[in-house]
């Protein structure tokens, strides 16, 4: 599948990415190469291969430093908070 400059412009608009018009051709070529590379994955024989939920079925062990030894001081910590709700810091909304 080949991606042209017009398709690259549409992808950039949908992704809210500003690409200068003089770079659209290069971006389209790069995207075409990526799509071509992903298409090569269809050639891989994966019959009978079970999907992995995790590469490692092991869990990390706890170290002595990982054990919580100091806690239960929420009221003391929140005493200096400019704004709080229950036992949590309250911060201004930054995302609309």
Q: Is residue 90 part of a domain?
A: no
Chain centroid, CA 51 distance in Å = 21
Instruction: Give pTM, 2 decimals.
Output: 0.49
Q: How far is residue 46's CA from residue 66's CA, in Å, rounded to a whole number?
A: 40
Q: Is residue 17 part of a domain?
A: yes
Number of H helices, E strands in the chain: 3, 2
Q: Is residue 29 part of a domain?
A: yes
* Interval 37-48: pLDDT, tens: 999 988 888 888
Q: How far is residue 13's CA from residue 62's CA, in Å, rounded to a whole number?
A: 47
Q: How far is residue 11's CA from residue 32's CA, in Å, rounded to a whole number?
A: 12
* Interval 3-17: pLDDT, tens: 999 999 999 999 999
For the chain, the distance separating the N- and C-terminal CA atoms, rounded to the nearest angstrom, is: 37
* Interval 47-81: pLDDT, tens: 888 887 777 777 778 888 888 877 888 888 888 88
- Token look-up 């992808």 returns 11
Q: Is residue 80 part of a domain?
A: no
Phi, psi of 84, rounded to the nearest 5 degrees = -150, 155
Q: Is residue 16 part of a domain?
A: yes
For residue 29, what are the domain limits?
5-43
Q: Is residue 82 part of a domain?
A: no
Q: Is the pLDDT of residue 24 over 90?
A: yes
User: Into how many domains does the chain fold?
Assistant: 1
């Amino acid at each position: 599948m080949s991606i042209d400059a017009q398709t690259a412009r549409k992808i950039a608009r949908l992704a809210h990415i500003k690409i200068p018009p003089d770079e659209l051709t290069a971006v389209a070529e790069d995207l075409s190469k990526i799509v071509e590379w992903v298409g090569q994955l269809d050639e891989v024989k994966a019959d009978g291969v079970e999907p992995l939920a995790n590469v490692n079925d092991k869990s990390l062990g706890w170290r002595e430093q990982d054990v919580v030894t100091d806690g239960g001081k929420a009221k003391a910590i929140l005493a200096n908070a400019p704004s709080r709700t229950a036992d949590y810091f309250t911060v201004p909304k930054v995302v609309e």
